[in-house]
């Protein structure tokens, strides 16, 4: 199953928050996006791009601003030998099998094309295309990529399953599971769970899974962040119901704020520095005290491109997790990449550490 998304118009192409809104909703209907085209208005290759994309894709979603909506309809009519008609205050191809306000769905030779138009600061029109759910994802922890392949390949063959293993970070692999003709995805997942026991979470969105689990367990969590600047907490607060497990999160960049808000001792900062195991331990303790939570996560590091030293080069990051009445677990990381990539890796390593420390809750 091949999926393509085409965005037409500068008003969408260069609007990052609008594009993110569009992608987020499309991913609810398509398992993955294989091809992505970002086109400007009056693009000379619009006709050829649409024709090529539709020919090679099972599902095509075309997102347009109002200036190009009717032009795209005319191109599709030319491609499929169709005519334009008026339906629900829209001019759309007559072969449309479904339509809603500012959205219509064509089906031609088992290929589906959903076209809709969007305006800034408006609700997204209804997406009419839905991919068959013959693909699932699971996350596997504490096993390297090669070991995953060795362990899962025989099970996949037994249940007529095709798998693709994607390394997220060290010892965290996302596994794409695709059914072949007579594939048994659910049986494959169950066998994998029995084999790997407390190393597998049969969900694609790990942070959504963590949030749901903590809500069900009535466990509150908080974060104290320095170099990640709230990125870690943002991974959880995007989900509905999270207010029941988060009273607050803290971003403490300066040493002064670490001391004032989290109670990190001045002696600790002077002796070991803010990027240290000792500092992160006190950040965890302070976060638990101030938030009235059962679990705390903390991050402090040097994301770069400046600020590194010989002893603590750019990419040095400490992450930690602590529960009430339990010992803090802190890890030192040596990460590579630009500032944003280092920050995002740090966040994912912190999430993996949380899962490892609290296996009794999450596995």
- Euclidean distance between the first and the last CA atom of the chain, given in angstroms as a whole number: 32
In this structure, of 35-44, 238-247, 326-335, the range with the lowest mean pLDDT score is 35-44
pLDDT in tens, 325-356: 999 999 999 999 999 999 999 999 999 999 99
Instruction: Name which CATH class applies to 135-204.
Output: alpha beta
Taking residues 303-330, report their average pLDDT.
Answer: 97
Residue 360 — very low, low, confident or very high, per pLDDT cuts 50/70/90?
very high
Q: Cis omega (within 30 of 0) on the bond before 346?
A: no
Q: Which pLDDT score, from 0 to 100, does residue 233 have?
A: 98
Taking residues 253-262, report their average pLDDT.
Answer: 98
Four-point Cα dihedral 346, 350, 353, 359, nearest 10: -150
pLDDT in tens, 136-158: 999 999 999 999 999 999 999 99
Give pTM, 2 decimals.
0.90
If phi > 0 it is left, if psi is from -120 to 50 it is alpha, else beta; for residue 153 that is alpha
Spatial separation of the C-alpha atoms in residues 359 and 108, rounded to whole Å: 49
Whether the Cβ atoms of residue 61 and residue 127 lie closer than 8 Å to each other:
yes
Q: Which pLDDT score, from 0 to 100, does residue 1 have?
A: 79
pLDDT in tens, 63-95: 999 999 999 999 999 999 999 999 988 999 999
CATH fold label, 207-362? Maf protein (3.90.950)
Q: Is the pLDDT of residue 323 over 80?
A: yes
Q: Which pLDDT score, from 0 to 100, does residue 214 have?
A: 98
Q: Which pLDDT score, from 0 to 100, does residue 24 have?
A: 95
Q: Looking at domain 3-117, what is its CATH homologous superfamily?
A: MoaB/Mog-like domain (3.40.980.10)
Taking residues 223-228, report their average pLDDT.
Answer: 98
Q: Which pLDDT score, from 0 to 100, does residue 131 have?
A: 82
Taking residues 31-60, report their average pLDDT.
Answer: 91
Q: Where are the domains of the chain?
A: 3-117, 135-204, 207-362
Q: Is the pLDDT of residue 132 over 90?
A: no
CA distances from 156 to 140, 141, 196, 348 (A): 15, 18, 14, 27
Question: In this structure, are strands 103-108 and 111-117 parallel, antiparallel, or unpaired?
Answer: antiparallel
Q: Which pLDDT score, from 0 to 100, does residue 31 have?
A: 84
Q: Which pLDDT score, from 0 to 100, does residue 241 have?
A: 95
- % the chain with pLDDT above 70: 100
Q: Is the pLDDT of residue 62 over 80?
A: yes
Q: Which pLDDT score, from 0 to 100, does residue 110 have?
A: 87
Q: Which pLDDT score, from 0 to 100, does residue 300 have?
A: 98
In this structure, of 129-143, 216-230, 276-290, 336-350, the range with the lowest mean pLDDT score is 129-143
């Amino acid at each position: 199953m091949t999926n393509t998304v085409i965005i037409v118009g500068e008003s969408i192409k260069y609007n990052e928050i609008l594009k993110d809104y569009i992608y987020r909703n499309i991913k609810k209907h398509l398992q993955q996006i294989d091809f992505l085209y970002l086109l400007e208005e009056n693009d000379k290759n619009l006709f050829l791009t649409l024709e090529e994309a539709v020919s090679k894709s099972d599902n095509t979603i075309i997102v347009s601003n109002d200036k190009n909506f009717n032009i795209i309809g005319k191109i599709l009519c030319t491609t499929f030998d169709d005519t334009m008609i008026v339906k629900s205050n829209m001019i759309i191809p007559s072969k449309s099998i479904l339509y809603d306000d500012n959205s219509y769905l064509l089906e031609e030779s088992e290929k589906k094309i959903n076209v809709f138009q969007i305006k800034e600061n408006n609700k997204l029109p209804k997406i009419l295309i839905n991919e068959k759910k013959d693909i699932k994802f699971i996350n596997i922890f504490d096993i390297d990529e090669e070991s995953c392949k060795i362990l899962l390949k025989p099970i996949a063959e037994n249940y007529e399953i095709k798998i693709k293993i994607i390394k997220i970070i060290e010892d965290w692999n996302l596994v794409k599971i695709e059914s072949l003709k007579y594939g048994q995805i659910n049986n494959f997942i169950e066998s994998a769970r029995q084999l790997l026991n407390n190393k597998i979470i049969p969900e694609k969105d790990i942070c959504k899974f963590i949030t749901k689990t903590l809500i069900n367990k009535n466990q509150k969590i908080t974060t104290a962040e320095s170099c990640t600047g709230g990125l870690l907490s943002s991974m959880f607060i995007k989900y509905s119901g999270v207010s029941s497990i988060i009273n607050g999160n803290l971003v403490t960049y300066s040493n002064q704020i670490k001391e004032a808000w989290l109670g990190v001792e001045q002696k600790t900062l002077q002796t070991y520095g803010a990027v240290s195991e000792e500092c992160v331990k006190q950040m965890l303790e302070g976060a638990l005290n101030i938030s009235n939570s059962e679990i705390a996560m903390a991050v402090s590091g040097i994301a770069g491109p400046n600020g590194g030293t010989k002893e603590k080069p750019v990419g040095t990051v400490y992450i930690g997790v602590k529960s009430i009445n339990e010992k803090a677990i802190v890890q030192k990381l040596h990460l590579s990449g630009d500032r944003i990539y280092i920050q995002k890796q740090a966040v994912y390593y912190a999430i993996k550490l949380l899962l490892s420390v609290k296996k009794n809750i999450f596995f």
